[in-house]
Chains A and B, each alone.
Chain A
């Protein structure tokens, strides 16, 4: 796929407009479980427990498949997420998260299993009708380095009620380094979420410009 735009350009667009994304911390004493299928390029499952509203600990499994079929990698990791800063405004909220972890990786392009470190940052800003987020995560092992950068910009056709179903239309751009994907993977997503007395459910799905499926689901309880 050709590069239609660069990630810095998307980031600039993000900063110019208002921003909500899947947060790695639910609430104090809350659990988060997430699973994502990223257009055949990545798939990931994660689960976290938050002892406080500002940090969570958990584990995940990430699978990466290069778009040219040259390699695949599987990373199993332990990770901690921290809320570095939150802005609670009368009609909006902004957040900056940092995360880091360690795990083991196997791949078709190297022998055996390697220790892999990961680190990343995520920022989001949202109102009831507009939303944006930017996330970067870096993985390092002796055999490879790669980064996954994701930006999202969305709007809601209506302001959702607490006990209702929220609907969002979200544009997502994702850039992979390390030869995983050439160009920026762009997807248009329909996001739905709802809070119920037993927990919250989140589901989003849509096609990429390549016609592949991008989907994510999340549960907080």
Chain B
């Protein structure tokens, strides 16, 4: 009985964790005013093995990337990547929302 209860609890926790796993990263970026110039950001972020799509919103100064299941990219690497692209990162957040939900949230 105790064994079954433990197994059930573990399975539940695992399911919950999977459901809560981060699916995207959003970065607030300063200096993002020109699509022609911001193309370097997309190229760089697509270079990560974890990347599953990139979304850039110039009006809101944000860059978001989808994450492949069970993957992540450290903040330091993201900051370094955007700095090397010539931009200033003001904040990084992770979300269980998929990239498509972030796009929708910003009217796309």
Give me the interface of A with B, judged by CB distance under 8 Å: 20, 23, 26-28, 30, 52-54, 83, 86-93, 126-128, 159-164, 166, 193-195, 197, 199-200, 202, 220
Whose C-beta in chain B lies nearest to the C-beta of A221? Answer: B39
Contacts of B31 in A (CB 8 A): 86-89, 92-93
* Contact (Cβ within 8 A) A194 B35: yes
Whose C-beta in chain A lies nearest to the C-beta of B86? Answer: A53
B16 within 8 A of A: no
A7 to chain B, nearest CB (A): 25
How many angstroms from the CA of A89 to the CA of B40 in the assembled complex? 18
How many angstroms from the CA of A195 to the CA of B33 in the assembled complex? 13
* Contact (Cβ within 8 A) A195 B36: yes
B34 to chain A, nearest CB (A): 6
Task: Report 15 cross-chain contacts, Cβ distance below 8 Å, ordered by A residue.
Answer: A20-B37, A26-B37, A26-B40, A27-B86, A30-B40, A30-B43, A54-B86, A83-B86, A161-B59, A164-B35, A193-B35, A193-B36, A195-B38, A200-B36, A200-B39
* Contact (Cβ within 8 A) A20 B84: no
Whose C-beta in chain B lies nearest to the C-beta of A54? Answer: B86
Give me the interface of B with A, judged by CB distance under 8 Å: 29-44, 56-59, 61, 84-88, 90, 108
Closest 10 CB pairs of A and B: A27-B40, A88-B31, A88-B88, A53-B86, A162-B56, A88-B30, A195-B35, A93-B31, A195-B39, A200-B36
How many angstroms from the CA of A163 to the CA of B108 in the assembled complex? 11
A86-B31, A166-B35 given; A128·B59 CB < 8 A:
yes
* Contact (Cβ within 8 A) B33 A161: no
* Contact (Cβ within 8 A) A162 B85: no
How many angstroms from the CA of A95 to the CA of B88 in the assembled complex? 14
Whose C-beta in chain B lies nearest to the C-beta of A25? Answer: B86
